[in-house]
Amino acid sequence: MTDPQNLVLFHYHLLRGGVRTALLRSLQCLSQQGWLAERRLVLSVGRLDGVRSFARTIKTWVSDVEVIVDERLDYRDAPWPDEKAFRKDVTALRDTMLTWGGESALFWLHNPTLGKNPAVTAAWKEAAEKAWTEGLPHRFLYHIHDFPECGRVENMVRLHRCWQDGGLTDFYPTSPNTAYAVLNTTDRQRLLSCGLSPQRVFWLPNVVIPSGEFSPVLTPARKQAVASALRRYAFEQDYVFDPGRPQWLLPVRLIRRKNVLEALFLAVIHPQKPQVLITLDATSAQEKPYAEAVKKCARANRLPSVIGFGTELVGTAFSFEELMAWSDAVMTTSLMEGFGFAFLEGPLLGRPLIGRNLADVTADFAKVGFPTEPLYDALPVPLDASHRSRLQTQGLRFAEGYRHMVPTLSKDDMDQFVSRLEVLYGQPTVDFGLLDWAAQRDLLKMAVEGALKENFQHVLTPVRVNEATLASFFAQFGPTAHAHRLKTAFERLWRQPGLNASYHRGENEKAGQTEKHPKSDVKTHPFTTTDRCPDLGPCVARLFFDPLYQRPLFGGWR
């Protein structure tokens, strides 16, 4: 077998969703390029749900697959009773993890720092450091889809308070056998600015696979089928459905960072009075209160909207492509994305896209001709002084509490946060995405009552792409380019130090040596034992300590 003999893939679960889809597509690309042909694939997850169907699909491409379901890898909210108990669990888990690598392994870890289970975060960090110290033939690629420091307050609390009176302070290993992968070049630049070498931070955007006909046209019978299914669902769930209105589709889950009340707000004040379709309900306990509040608001105000129908109808009553073709526009009001597939789903099928831009994400798309100019960067709305004063006060309290939780933040960091609060909330108009639930709800009520004169129609210029742009896009983000990026990242990481430059499996054992971390690597490799970035965690926390990333809608401001 070829080194690394094993590709050990970790994620907390394999439930249907964005990460699962990304993993399946990446593995398919690797398999088609032959990289997995002489290697064993090890899937390590925390729960059984979704594993069988995932493995069944993978085994059509990869002959040697092992599945490890270890409940210790699943999400965990409950803190440990004390540090001793936490460290004991971490050590045991770390040692188990290293056994999964066999003779040699590349550990491909997806969101290990996210904060869904602090013991998992700590154990992977210790596993990487132990492998480096002991000269084990393993490498660790931290594939960061989402940073906990970026608006995920509950996750940060979980990490920093994972036992009764304390928690983790840094979750990012910096040993030279470790590298990082991110979904957009903005995040790559962030890690570089924290001191990591360019050779250790890879841009690995999700693969985009062409699917369906560009700009498909539905037959009258299929149009009627889509409308009938939505009408029936809306009636059963007490939503208002009118197929005669323009249809704005949000193919998203009903969670806070998707900011869906903004879509409802824009629909209410738009002259054409469109209807909003939101495909998926929330599933996590963390997001369900927000989802229930949105649904209650939509029903109480009799807003033309249908929410959460995707699980029941998409794939049974009609296909996703048919839903896209039936809709008049795809909309995004998201405040936070990793790769940004929300911007692509509609245009890649020839549908117009309207809504909010996230320049951190769409900059990568713009480089290949994707037109982002029609999207709005902010939606300034009139906000009364009482709301603005309240939000500034809450923002200040949030910053004080956050700094107490993350003590590496300095007084200068705090002063900059406060200064940003004054800029963002000191004017009569404030971006709708910078409001909390209460302020958004009140503005929506004003819109329903006709108390707002502005209809914001000018900000809803649609984005459209042609087939020439699509060709450029798929050349950059399609399967061939994706497989090349993955193979390059894996191979470059494998060539990093951690073993002697002359190491070949078995040679040292035959010579009777039991070599630990090799000092000879200092001269023969671009990275040495001094190639560390001890302030990586604190630096990442500082970069995201800004109201634009710690928005009140995300939580923690009260």
- Tell me the DSSP string of 276-330: EEEEE---STTTHHHHHHHHHHHHHTT-BEEES-HHHHBTTTB-HHHHHHHSSEE
Q: Which residues contact 84 (CB under 8 A, 6 or more apart)?
A: none
Shared-domain flag, residues 172 and 291: no
Shared-domain flag, residues 167 and 237: no
CA nearest to 264, candidates 300, 228, 289: 300
502 vs 252: which has the higher pLDDT: 252
CATH number of residue 550's parent domain: 3.40.50
Shared-domain flag, residues 235 and 190: no
Shared-domain flag, residues 201 and 77: yes
- Across the chain, mean pLDDT equals 91
Instruction: Assess if residue 449 is contained within a domain.
Output: no
What pLDDT does residue 335 have? 97
Shared-domain flag, residues 356 and 485: no
Q: For 101, phi and psi rounded to 5 degrees?
A: -80, -15
What pLDDT does residue 165 have? 87
What pLDDT does residue 17 have? 80
Region 217-245 average pLDDT: 97
Residue 57 corresponds to which tokens in the numbers above?
């699909």
Measured CA to CA, the distance from residue 7 to residue 125 in angstroms comes to: 18
For residue 514, pLDDT beyond 80: no
| Percent of the chain predicted with pLDDT > 70 | 93
For residue 517, pLDDT beyond 90: no
What pLDDT does residue 142 have? 98
Shared-domain flag, residues 174 and 275: no
Instruction: Assess if residue 489 is contained within a domain.
Output: yes
The count of structural domains within the chain is 2
Shared-domain flag, residues 71 and 113: yes
For residue 213, pLDDT beyond 80: no
Measured CA to CA, the distance from residue 290 to residue 440 in angstroms comes to: 12
CATH number of residue 271's parent domain: 3.40.50.2000
Shared-domain flag, residues 268 and 356: yes
Instruction: Assess if residue 344 is contained within a domain.
Output: yes
Shared-domain flag, residues 139 and 228: no
pLDDT tens string 36-80: 998 999 999 999 999 999 999 999 999 999 999 999 999 999 999
Instruction: Assess if residue 132 is contained within a domain.
Output: yes
**CA end-to-end span of the chain:** 56
Instruction: Assess if residue 518 is contained within a domain.
Output: no
The DSSP symbol for 526 reads S
Print the domain residue range for 56.
Answer: 6-207+478-497+536-555
pLDDT tens string 98-143: 999 999 999 999 999 999 999 999 999 999 999 999 999 999 999 9
Instruction: Assess if residue 448 is contained within a domain.
Output: no
Region 346-368 average pLDDT: 95
For residue 401, pLDDT beyond 70: yes
Region 506-532 average pLDDT: 37
pLDDT tens string 133-142: 999 999 999 9
For residue 365, pLDDT beyond 90: yes
Alpha-carbon distances, residue 538 vs 111, 126, 127, 191 (angstroms): 18, 18, 21, 11
Shared-domain flag, residues 350 and 367: yes
What pLDDT does residue 454 have? 82
Shared-domain flag, residues 87 and 199: yes
501 confidence band (pLDDT: 50, 70, 90)? very low
Instruction: Assess if residue 418 is contained within a domain.
Output: no
Shared-domain flag, residues 84 and 155: yes
Pairing of strands 247-253, 275-280: parallel
pLDDT tens string 438-480: 999 999 999 999 998 887 888 899 999 988 899 999 999 999 9
- Locate all alpha helices (DSSP H) within 406-524, ordered by sequence: 411-425, 437-448, 467-477, 479-494, 507-510, 521-524
Instruction: Assess if residue 505 is contained within a domain.
Output: no
What pLDDT does residue 284 have? 85
What pLDDT does residue 497 have? 52
81 confidence band (pLDDT: 50, 70, 90)? very high
What pLDDT does residue 324 have? 94
Region 180-186 average pLDDT: 97
